[in-house]
Structure 1
Amino acid sequence: MPARRTKAVAPAITAPATAAVATRPAPAPKRAAKQLRSLVVLSIVGGLVATAAMPAFAGVLQKEAPVTLQQMAVDDAQSVVVASDAVGTELARESYSATTSDEIAKKKAAEAAAERARQAATVAATQPTTFNVDLNMVAPGSGAVRWPITSYTLTDTYGTRGGAHRGIDLVAPAGTPIYAAAAGVVNVSSEAYYDYGVAITIDHVINGQKVSTLYAHQSYGSRQVVSGQTVQAGQLIGLVGSTGRSTANHLHFEVYVNGSNVDPLAWLNANAG
């Protein structure tokens, strides 16, 4: 039997231990890749956290933006009423007043006269006026109607000054006695009665008719009667002066019958006795 050939096997070459150690692949690249992946993951997570946190810190860290005048005006702007929301308001005559230039002038003149009378009355109150007059005197005559003064000079008559003069002017020295033209009740007794100055008005009933008489421009402090007082015909009520809108000592005398202004001189001539 022929002898079996054995295949020759190459002898194994064993590298020295030192060579094996030197040629073993180093683990550094694998570990570096792993660290790089960890770093990337951490960066992504950190980015997500920062993105989520930014809105929360934005309000705290954000500085106040400058505001323009137009933006400030928006906060204080007044509301606007559009036509559809507007409600019509009817103007009433009482809501306004119209005054003519003549009315303004008259009002100013009356106010000025009242102020002059007030100032004069204040002075008169501190400086008592004395007159050499017998206060027990009465007007002469015995009729229901008497002359308001007994000695005078008639100047301006009824209806003069373009119809604006509503009485008669009886010029007499300051301190001349003034008497009630008829029995009645004193209505006005004032130291400053409009342009009349110191004045008295008396209401009477004569022959069933309502009569009112006015005695103006008397001396300050000379009034002898008060409002509401009953007087008799010929009773002393005051003294002639030049107060209010007056330029000389005189009595301005007016008469009204049933509310209508009449000529005092004609009334006295027809009734005084």
Structure 2
Amino acid sequence: MGGIILRIPIYQVDAFTSKAYKGNPAAVCIVDRRLGDEVMQDIAAEMNLSETTFIQPLEEVSLAGIAQYSIRWFTPETEVPLCGHATLAAAKVIFDCLGFQGERILFKYVNGQLESRRHAGGFTMGFPADEPLEAGPSSDLLEAMGIRKYKELVYGRNTGKLVVRLHNEVEIRELRPNFERMKSVKVCFPVKGVGVTAEGQAGYDIVSRYFNPWAGVNEDPVTGSVHTVLAPYWSAILGKKELKALQASQRSGELLIRIAGGGRLEFIGDAVVVMKGEISAGRGDRL
């Protein structure tokens, strides 16, 4: 019978909001050694949030001086290649809970690195822009989502996210997808989540929602990664280099996006820590 082998500091953070219990909740685990993929997946399933992120310091200095971390993201069912709100949650924890006094944090992941800094509106994060490509219709998938009419379909070249442009915000808010049907539909190209979007109102440039039942997240409250497709798409349509975005989920959340040039975007958003503690990771019946 094995016993507990690790007690991992963990924080729950509501991202892309300045109000507790709004925005998108993420768990942030701070580890001092490499964990097995199975352990991280088990923890993410236990937390049962849209994403749990694992960060590990990469410099052999005290916590207050660390500027570089490795980062990985897991849904309750699978690892994902990129997650905006959980990265923002990690930046919030490092700056405000671990007492980091430097100017920037570099998060290194398998496809590169992301940078975060403090900002008057919370924190900035640098992300790669994705190229929105014209996509062919997938009538079965659209029917499963309850979409009969739309203005345009685009597909993120790198993220694999399908985006459906609807006519207005009312259509966005009233949409009621059938998630089980969505999962059973066969699409002729790999779809790693579906966003719906329209031009915004009441001070917002764009509005959206995002669904990814294939990864165990029927609707994500606020999604940074889909905005890597939405930002260049809407920037070209509206002729703007700065976009205020609303994700109209039940919890709702917002972010400011700047087109930084060179294929890069700058996301600006706030976050609130709502819980902190420890989670046990080990083996045997005392886990």
TM bucket, shorter chain: under 0.3
Q: Please identify which structure carries the higher helix content.
A: 1
Question: TM-score by structure 2 length?
Answer: 0.21
Query: Greater CA radius of gyration, 1 or 2?
Result: 1
Greater relative contact order structure (CA < 8 Å, 6+ sep): 2
Q: Please identify which structure carries the higher strand content.
A: 2
